[in-house]
Amino acid sequence: MSQFVADLGKTAVLMGGTSAEREISLMSGNGVLQALRAQGVDAHAFDPSERDISELKRDGYRRCFIALHGRFGEDGTVQGALELMRIPYTGSGVMASSIAMDKVMTKRIWEAAGLPTPRYVVLGTEQQQRENVVKVPDALGLPLIVKPPREGSSIGVSKVKGYSQMQDAVRLSARYDPDVLCEEFIDGEEVTCAVIGSGADAHALPVVRITAPEGAYDYQNKYFTDVVSYQCPSGLPPAEESEISRIVLVAYKTLGCRGWARADLMIRASDRKPFLLEMNTSPGMTGHSLVPMSAKAAGISYEALCVQVLQLAALDYPLGLAPGQTETRP
């Protein structure tokens, strides 16, 4: 075992959790766990739904690889707990994780920065009556996308092709989130682009182009079938791939992300303009996941990717000082 790997110390791979993405998180986490152990890392599985997270401190863990997806794992809550325990963790910090988990807040920040993202309407709990719902297609056109703003893995997502489908789509989304995000449908190609690193060292990995049957890149097809095709290298014109990488890096830094993340985009067929959909701050690491696919195209094995991400584990306030606090000396 190399000194570098030994210096990583006892590592917890956080997986499972209580979100709607628990099943996918367990798949990601077990893959990461095996990869880290294969590289000589002292790695152990840790499911926050089955153990009190304070046991991480008690049991002497020196860092955490967050393979949790969705709420109570990707939304800043676990990150905040780890900050309090002073245990460095992979991925973005508290604020960036919290913002990126909320697609509406993410879109507002991207809009303020002049980044392209589809037009949208948010329906709060008091705005989901039929008289409000039927007006949404007039604003966004048809078809359109209806989804929970704080879920991932295409859970609760509907493509609405007619007015009569709107109410059912809103009801489905509201099962997962009290607010409902209605988004302009971008007709074109779906792509994804991962970023690794922080600050000036952040760099984009090769773009992955996704082709699903009839555009149905849903939960089942993402993880449990082989009907979706992926192209990496993407086969896009070099100028398009370069522009996607540029936009994604700006989007990553604008949200304050660090460590790693993956952005999902659509390229509009009519003019080849890319639109940002969301930023995933704890990307999937399953056999169907896209970051390992992109890393492989860049010459980085799954095992090396896991170690590289773990190496980037950090804290928002590594000196142990709260914002505005100054160090006092005896």
Would you name the residues annotated as active-site residues?
21, 153, 223, 262, 264, 278, 280, 284
Please report, as a single letter, which amino acid is at residue 64.
Answer: C
Candidates 248, 264, 266, 265; CA nearest to 203 is: 248
What DSSP designation does 233 have?
S
Beta bridge partners of 196: 203, 260
Q: At 40, list the tokens.
A: 């000589």
- Is 228:293 a contact under the CB 8 Å cutoff? no
- Is 277:262 a contact under the CB 8 Å cutoff? no
Could you tell me how far CA 133 lies from the centroid of its own chain? 28
Q: Which positions ≥6 away from 170 have C-beta within 8 Å?
A: 123, 128, 133, 146, 180, 182
CA distances from 67 to 47, 132, 163, 213, 265 (A): 10, 38, 39, 28, 22
